[in-house]
């Protein structure tokens, strides 16, 4: 889950990292610039490189309203702007780059620091690879403040940058983040240090021990009781268990079909969950057929069958094929037979039947 810049900066502040003075405005708010003479308007959209995409505007008291309107009317890399963070413009002397993420090859958190910040890290890596410092964290040892200071020393920058590195690591660890990035980390003309930008990505799998409730992306998200990933094809694939769902995708590929989604209703899915899953895929107008593959373990075939009957009643024209086997198979079969819905206990046969029925309509 990605946090907006203003949300990430609230966290920075809490951890003692200085951020510019600011206030947040929403589309439709009628506001003037009183607090500071010169301001930076920052579109709160969840994409990187807003500066280059026109999402960062500089303004003053005179042209404030105009610029605000201009930014609200823009789309930044396809995202609408409905909030703007108004910040006091900093007098920047130097810009650094700092991030912490997980290095999957090393299987360790990695701290990346560069004294050439402000631009894309890819650009720094290309032009000044010698200016990028990587430090792999040994998670078995405590992360102590001196480690931050050593990185700062190695980079040849102000030693107080080390304090920021220490605090950023604390955030990374305590919040179960997958990325914390400050680009640029700024030294101002009066030698103060500020996080001028803030990116935090949190690990969705840490929801059981973290409180996401205050974050926008979490609040806006549909809380579906299953894993759902939209894809490019036109056949919805529903299975129980990730492995079986992937195998179902392979099966329909073998018959020349392409999945419109991966939907894993999980182990123990009941009638309600199955209905929700079917409704979810039917919302997608691209979907021409549904392939549902359930191997009843904890999940009961009769529950799945009941859901199928209910949903197909309202959607009689959708091409549909079901493979159903396992717990309560007899009961499930009876429910489907009574409703005249063909089924199969073989994944291959069910896939083949769907391909045949679709061949005439695609």
Catalytic residues: 97, 181
Gyration radius of the chain's alpha carbons: 26
User: What's phi and psi for 292, nearest 5 deg?
Assistant: -120, 130
Q: Do residues 9 and 19 touch, judged by C-beta distance below 8 A?
A: yes
Residue 95 touches Mn ion, criterion: CB under 5 A: no
Does 148 count as an annotated binding residue? no
Residue 306 touches ligand GDP, criterion: CB under 6 A: no
What does the block give as tokens for 195? 């996080």
**Minimum CB–partner distance for residue 337 and ligand GDP (Å):** 58
Q: Which is nearer to ligand GDP, 49 or 225 (CB)?
A: 49
Does 220 count as an annotated binding residue? no
Neighbouring CB atoms inside 10 A of 325's CB total: 17
Residue 114 touches Mn ion, criterion: CB under 5 A: no
Q: How far apart are CA 87 and CA 157, in angstroms?
A: 25
Residue 263 touches ligand GDP, criterion: CB under 6 A: no
Q: Which is nearer to Mn ion, 1 or 40 (CB)?
A: 40
The count of chain residues that interact with ligand GDP, using the rule CB under 6 A, is 17
Q: Which does 40 bind (CB under 5 to 8 A by kind): Mn ion, ligand GDP, none?
A: ligand GDP
Q: How far apart are CA 138 and CA 108, in angstroms?
A: 7
Q: Which is nearer to ligand GDP, 50 or 306 (CB)?
A: 50
Q: Which does 109 bind (CB under 5 to 8 A by kind): ligand GDP, Mn ion, none?
A: none
**Minimum CB–partner distance for residue 183 and Mn ion (Å):** 4
Q: Do residues 42 and 87 touch, judged by C-beta distance below 8 A?
A: yes
Neighbouring CB atoms inside 10 A of 66's CB total: 11
Residue 92 touches ligand GDP, criterion: CB under 6 A: yes
99, 114, 183, 248: which one contacts Mn ion (CB under 5 A)? 183
Residue 116 touches ligand GDP, criterion: CB under 6 A: no
Does 183 count as an annotated binding residue? yes
Restricting to residues 207-236, which ones interact with ligand GDP according to CB under 6 A? none
Among 47-55, 275-283, 285-293, 304-312, which window interacts with ligand GDP (CB under 6 A)? 47-55
For the CA atoms of 13, 221, 270, 348, the dihedral, rounded to the nearest 10 degrees, stands at: -110
148, 184, 239, 296: which one contacts ligand GDP (CB under 6 A)? 184
The count of chain residues that interact with Mn ion, using the rule CB under 5 A, is 2
Query: Binding string, 49-68, against ligand GDP, x = CB under 6 A?
Result: xxx----x------------
Which residues in this chain contact Mn ion in the complex, by CB under 5 A? 183, 197
* Residues that constitute the known binding site: 42, 49-51, 87, 90, 95, 183, 197, 240, 297-299
For the annotated binding site for Mg(2+), the residues are 183, 197
Binding residues for ATP: 42, 49-51, 87, 90, 95
User: Which residues of the chain form contacts with ligand GDP (CB under 6 A)?
Assistant: 20, 40, 42, 48-51, 56, 87, 89-90, 92, 118, 183-184, 196-197
Residues contributing to the annotated binding site for substrate: 240, 297-299
């Amino acid at each position: 889950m990605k946090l907006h810049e203003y949300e990430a900066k609230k966290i920075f502040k809490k951890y003692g990292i200085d951020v510019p003075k600011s206030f947040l405005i929403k589309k439709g708010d009628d506001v003037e610039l009183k607090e500071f003479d010169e301001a930076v308007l920052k579109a709160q959209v969840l994409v990187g490189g807003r500066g280059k995409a026109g999402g960062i505007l500089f303004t003053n008291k005179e042209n404030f309203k105009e610029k605000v309107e201009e930014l609200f009317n823009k789309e930044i890399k396809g995202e609408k702007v409905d909030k703007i963070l108004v910040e006091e413009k900093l007098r920047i002397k130097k810009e650094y780059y700092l991030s912490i993420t997980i290095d999957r090859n090393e299987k360790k958190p990695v701290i990346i620091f560069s004294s050439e910040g402000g631009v894309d890290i890819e650009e720094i890596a290309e032009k000044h690879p010698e200016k990028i410092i990587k430090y792999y964290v040994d998670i078995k040892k405590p992360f102590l403040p001196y480690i931050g200071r050593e990185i700062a020393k190695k980079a040849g920058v102000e030693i107080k940058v080390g304090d920021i590195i220490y605090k950023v690591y604390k955030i990374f660890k305590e919040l179960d983040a997958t990325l914390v990035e400050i680009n640029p980390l700024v030294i101002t003309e009066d030698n103060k240090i500020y996080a001028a930008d803030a990116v935090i990505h949190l690990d969705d799998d840490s929801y059981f021990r973290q409180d996401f409730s205050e974050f926008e992306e979490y609040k806006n998200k549909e809380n579906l009781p299953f894993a759902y990933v939209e894809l490019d094809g036109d056949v919805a694939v529903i299975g129980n268990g990730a492995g079986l769902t992937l195998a179902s995708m392979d099966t329909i590929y073998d018959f020349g079909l392409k999945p419109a989604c991966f939907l894993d209703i999980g182990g123990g899915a009941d009638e309600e969950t199955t209905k929700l899953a079917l409704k979810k895929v039917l919302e997608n107008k691209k979907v021409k057929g549904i392939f549902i593959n359930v191997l009843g373990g904890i999940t009961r075939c009769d529950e799945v069958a009941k859901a199928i009957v209910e949903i197909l009643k309202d959607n009689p024209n959708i091409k549909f094929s079901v493979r159903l086997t396992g717990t309560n198979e007899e009961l499930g079969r009876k429910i489907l037979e009574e409703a005249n819905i063909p089924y199969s206990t073989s994944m291959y046969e069910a896939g083949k039947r769907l391909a045949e029925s679709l061949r005439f309509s695609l």
